[in-house]
Amino acid sequence: MGRAPCCDKANVKKGPWSPEEDAKLKSYIEQHGTGGNWIALPQKIGLKRCGKSCRLRWLNYLRPNLKHGGFSEEEDNIICSLYVSIGSRWSVIAAQLPGRTDNDIKNYWNTRLKKKLLGNNRNRRNKEQQQFQPCSNNNQEETTSINRGRSSPSVIFGHDDSLLVHENNSTIQQQQQCYWPHFMPVLPIPNVPYSTSNNHFLLGSSFNDQDSIKKLLIKLGGRFYNNGVDYHNYHPTLDDGLNHLLHQSQGQGQGIITTTHSNNNNSTQQEVVYHQEQVQFGDGNNGGLHDELVQRQGNFNIEIEEEMVGTNTNNNFIPQRLLLNNNGLEFLCGDMAFSDKIILGSTNRVNWGESSNSGNSVIYQQPLLASSNYQQDQGVRPSEECALQEYSTTIATMRSNNSNTMLHV
């Protein structure tokens, strides 16, 4: 038996709000407040609306100090960097943008930013639609729309910056250049852990202070541990919490872990990785994503994959989840993968909205330290609760080894 409806569906009005309804609702709330009970509110003021509908109307439209449209470049930065980091947690993102509602941001992302970042504007798509071709286990013609699809497709970038869109149990490949690089925020944050002259600690401009980061982490449920390791210089970053979140999502079968094997046992700062595997966590039934990964694997033999690999005192590798093929950097983030051209060690940076003169960009990356290798080396079982601890431990280990390994965060 389902839940009782919150209101009498037959007797409530649906659809667009009239100015009269808006005036009634606004006037009442401004005078009396919501009274803490949205369900009862419409009856009090004689509105034939569901309480939830009233709440949404107030929060998304009538509430004072709301801004509509006209997102600034800075707001774009924040939205994109946070989306890349935490995904579609619109309320959290909205909390960082005064005057913006989660619904606004969600719509803005879905209708504009996503396409902007994917380079999916109309002109491009018109040209590129002709290049759409099935490339997976489904030979049927695909005419899917990325933007209007009723079920959200999975989108990852394959090798050569091609775009893989998985939808309805098939994968289609769209040859197009990824637009992420031109929009990735690349602002360094202070007090970052294990900072070297060459590494890249990149974070959205709105999170350049530790307090904001900590507050957000707390809001996100991040936890911090002290396992005896001296990391007094360690300052949690947004990514710490995101790593934690990523573990959570992996437990639900949504995450991707990239692990690497190397046939080079020397403790060098960089090693060529000749084999790579994609490890999927969860119940293994996430078929669509798996197909995409298999799709990618088939191309690895024509790529030179490199990874920044650090080592600890036991010569165990500490994968840094940084992949480099002959076309540039790739990294995975949830069900999306982003790609950009990058020269390892390059300190060239481009700002959000800029393109690099040299064609090399440094892009925002997340740590993914708890690969299966690392977990085995540490003798610990992957746990969503130890993500931050592992991260901190890794940092401490690398510090103690006085390693010059670049830590890409």
Partner DNA sequence: AAACATAGCAACCGCCCGGCA
Partner DNA sequence: GTGCCGGGCGGTTGCTATGTT
Which region, judged by CB under 7 A, interacts with DNA, from 88-96, 193-201, 237-245, 300-308?
88-96
* DSSP for 168-192, written as a single string: TTEEEEE-----GGGT---B--TT-
Which region, judged by CB under 7 A, interacts with DNA, from 117-125, 273-281, 320-328, 349-357?
117-125
Identify the DSSP state of 276. Answer: E
Taking the least distance from each CB to DNA, the nearer of 32 and 112 is 112
Residues 6+ apart with CB under 8 A from 232: none
Using rule CB under 7 A, residue 91 touches DNA: yes
Using rule CB under 7 A, residue 215 touches DNA: no
Q: How far apart are CA 252 and CA 17, in angstroms?
A: 39
Whether 166 and 155 have beta carbons less than 8 Å apart is answered as yes
Window 37-66: residues binding DNA (CB under 7 A): 37-39, 49-53, 55-57, 60-61
Which region, judged by CB under 7 A, interacts with DNA, from 13-21, 229-237, 246-254, 283-291?
13-21
Taking the least distance from each CB to DNA, the nearer of 52 and 235 is 52
Using rule CB under 7 A, residue 16 touches DNA: yes
Q: Name which position in 29, 48, 67, 110 contacts DNA (CB under 7 A).
A: 110
Structure tokens at 161: 């910056």
Residues contacting DNA: total by CB under 7 A: 55
Using rule CB under 7 A, residue 89 touches DNA: yes
From 117, 123, 127, 130, select the one nearest 157 (Cα to Cα): 117
- Residue 152 Cβ, how far from DNA at the closest point, in Å? 4
Q: Name which position in 104, 239, 292, 390 contacts DNA (CB under 7 A).
A: 104
Q: How far apart are CA 68 and CA 212, in angstroms?
A: 25
Using rule CB under 7 A, residue 24 touches DNA: no
Using rule CB under 7 A, residue 28 touches DNA: no
Taking the least distance from each CB to DNA, the nearer of 152 and 226 is 152
Using rule CB under 7 A, residue 17 touches DNA: yes
Taking the least distance from each CB to DNA, the nearer of 53 and 405 is 53
Using rule CB under 7 A, residue 125 touches DNA: yes
Using rule CB under 7 A, residue 106 touches DNA: yes
Structure tokens at 194: 């294990």
Which region, judged by CB under 7 A, interacts with DNA, from 101-109, 134-142, 231-239, 287-295?
101-109
Residue type, 306: E
Whether 390 and 374 have beta carbons less than 8 Å apart is answered as yes
Window 132-171: residues binding DNA (CB under 7 A): 145, 147-148, 150-152
Structure tokens at 93: 């993102």
Q: Name which position in 4, 64, 232, 263 contacts DNA (CB under 7 A).
A: 4
- Residue 3 Cβ, how far from DNA at the closest point, in Å? 7
Laid out side by side, the sheet with 336-340 consists of: 270-273, 305-311, 317-325, 328-333, 336-340
Q: Are strands 317-325 and 275-280 parallel, antiparallel or unpaired?
A: unpaired
The two most distant CA atoms of the chain are separated, in Å, by 76
∠ CA 45-50-54, nearest 5°, is: 65
- Residue 332 Cβ, how far from DNA at the closest point, in Å? 17
Taking the least distance from each CB to DNA, the nearer of 15 and 284 is 15
* DSSP for 20-47, written as a single string: HHHHHHHHHHHHH--TT-TTTHHHHTT-
Taking the least distance from each CB to DNA, the nearer of 195 and 212 is 212
- Sign (positive/negative) of CA torsion 12, 15, 20, 26? positive
Bridge partners (DSSP) listed for residue 211: none
Q: Name which position in 10, 14, 31, 64 contacts DNA (CB under 7 A).
A: 14
Total length of the chain: 409
Please compute Rg for the chain using Cα positions.
24
Whether 363 and 346 have beta carbons less than 8 Å apart is answered as no
Q: Which residues bind DNA (CB under 7 A)?
A: 2-4, 6, 9, 13-17, 34, 36-39, 49-53, 55-57, 60-61, 68-69, 87-92, 102-104, 106-108, 110-112, 115, 120-123, 125-126, 145, 147-148, 150-152
